[in-house]
Amino acid sequence: MARGDLFPPLEPYRTGTLAVSGLHTIYWEEAGNPDGAPVVFLHGGPGAGASPTHRRFFDPRHYRIVILDQRGAGRSAPLGEIRENGIPDLISDLELLRSVLEIDRWLVFGGSWGSTLALAYAQAHPERVKGLVLRGIFLMRQQEIDWFLYDMRTFFPEAWSTFVAHIPVNERGDLLEAYYRRLTSADPQTRMAAARVWSVYEGACSTLLPSPELVSASGEDNHALGLARMEAHYFRNNKLSPEAALLENIDRIRHIPAIIVQGRYDVVCPIRTADELHRAWPEADYIVVPDAGHSAMEPGIRSALVQATERFKTL
């Protein structure tokens, strides 16, 4: 089926919260067919949280759609909490949620940071993954983090100028550390001001053509705080070891069916990274959308992702 757009809006049939540590509680929901093929949606960021639109990538007649907000994001609590928040923790949360929901194996769908987490989870628990749909590939390497902090100005100099202007000149040699100090400040106004600038910067760079709606949504308080604090925390404190671990461990998941969707003009997660993943994993289907940036809501990206979930109906 060559469906070209999202499925109609739908409400979850079940929602809940799950205590995953003494500090963190995560939000989760299920929508679609309670007896359908399980699929879990992993949002980006880290820290962006999920939205009702994310349910619509999946045919609700076929899929049992599981969506969660990762630690510190969205409706999970505490919002923006960076303690006890690392890649192994998020992998453990997925396994706990899968067990609580009594799901044996599921399709894993993740974009941007969600692609990072999907790959890390699949490599840790390949026996639990029926397939992977990955979008806007990010592999958590220093070169990708540096690109975000400094080199997106190549294409978005105006947005980068606003991003860097928030930091005094004498601190601009290490933008990550400068933002991290502000995002973890004891002063709520300092935290919020830095979070808005960081989040709007990312939103402004996420589409091929300007999207005032996305930029406006990026500045919303809860979204900005969760996104900016989590991204700065993960960029600073959650480096993979070795750095290229997600590429080097592809053999663990080489047998798992996968579809990689990448915008040709994705500036937030440039196509070079997706190309490296494809070359390491030629067994995975690789779809380059010729007229798209980073956002999952770019028309061509959206269409390719829906077509991917349609293809996985036969898995």
Q: Say if 3 falls within a structural domain.
A: no
Same domain, 183 and 296: no
Q: Decide if 188 is inside a domain.
A: yes
- Whether 203 is in a domain gets the answer yes
Residue 4 belongs to some domain of the structure = no
Asked if residue 273 and residue 168 are part of one domain, the reply reads no
The answer to whether 292 and 230 are in contact (CB under 8 A) is: no
Q: Same domain for 156 and 202?
A: yes
- Candidates 107, 105, 97, 91; CA nearest to 39 is 107
Cβ-in-10-Å burial (0-12, 13-18, 19+) of 297 comes to middle
Is 2 inside any structural domain?
no
- The pLDDT of residue 315 is 76
24 and 132 in one domain? yes
Single out the residue in 237, 261, 287 at which a domain terminates.
237
3-state secondary structure of 226: helix
Name the residue range of residue 183's domain. 142-237
Same domain (yes/no): 151, 279: no
Does residue 268 share a domain with residue 161?
A: no
Residue-level pLDDT at 1: 41
Q: Please, what sign has the CA dihedral across residues 277, 135, 79, 161?
A: positive
Q: Where residue 294 sits, what CATH number does that domain have?
A: 3.40.50.1820
From 237, 255, 285, give the residue that closes a domain. Answer: 237
Q: Do 219 and 111 reside in the same domain of the chain? A: no
Tokens of 161: 């100028």
| Beta carbons of 249 and 123 less than 8 angstroms apart | yes
Burial of 89 (0-12, 13-18, 19+ CB in 10 A): middle
Are 122 and 163 part of one and the same domain?
A: no
Whether 265 and 129 map to the same domain: the answer is yes
Number of domains in the chain: 2
Same domain, 20 and 74: yes
Q: Are residues 298 and 250 in the same domain?
A: yes
Tens-of-pLDDT digits for all 315 residues of the chain?
A: 456 689 999 999 999 999 999 999 999 999 999 999 999 999 999 999 999 999 999 999 999 999 999 999 999 999 999 999 999 999 999 999 999 999 999 999 999 999 999 999 999 999 999 999 999 999 999 999 999 999 999 999 999 999 999 999 999 999 999 999 999 999 999 999 999 999 999 999 999 999 999 999 999 999 999 999 999 999 999 989 999 999 999 999 999 999 999 999 999 999 999 999 999 999 999 999 999 999 999 999 999 999 999 999 987
Which of the residues are catalytic?
112, 266, 294
For the chain, what's the residue count? 315
Alpha-carbon distance values, 109 to 51, 99, 128, 155, 268 (Å):
14, 18, 13, 28, 19
- 143: which 2 tokens? 């070169």
> pTM here?
0.97
pLDDT at position 263, please? 98
And the tokens for 154? Answer: 């190549």
With respect to residue 5, please indicate whether it lies within any of the assigned structural domains.
no
Of 151, 128, 137, 176, nearest in space to 261 by CA: 137
Give the model confidence (pLDDT) of 182-234 as tens digits.
999 999 999 999 999 999 999 999 999 999 999 999 999 999 999 999 999 99
Q: Do residues 21 and 132 both lie within one domain? A: yes
Residue 206 inside a domain? The answer is yes
Q: What pairs with residue 19 in β-bridges?
A: 25
Last residue of a domain, one of 192, 214, 237: 237
Give yes or no for a contact between 263 and 173, defined as CB atoms under 8 angstroms apart: no
Can you give the pLDDT at residue 2?
54
Please report whether residue 18 resides in a domain: yes
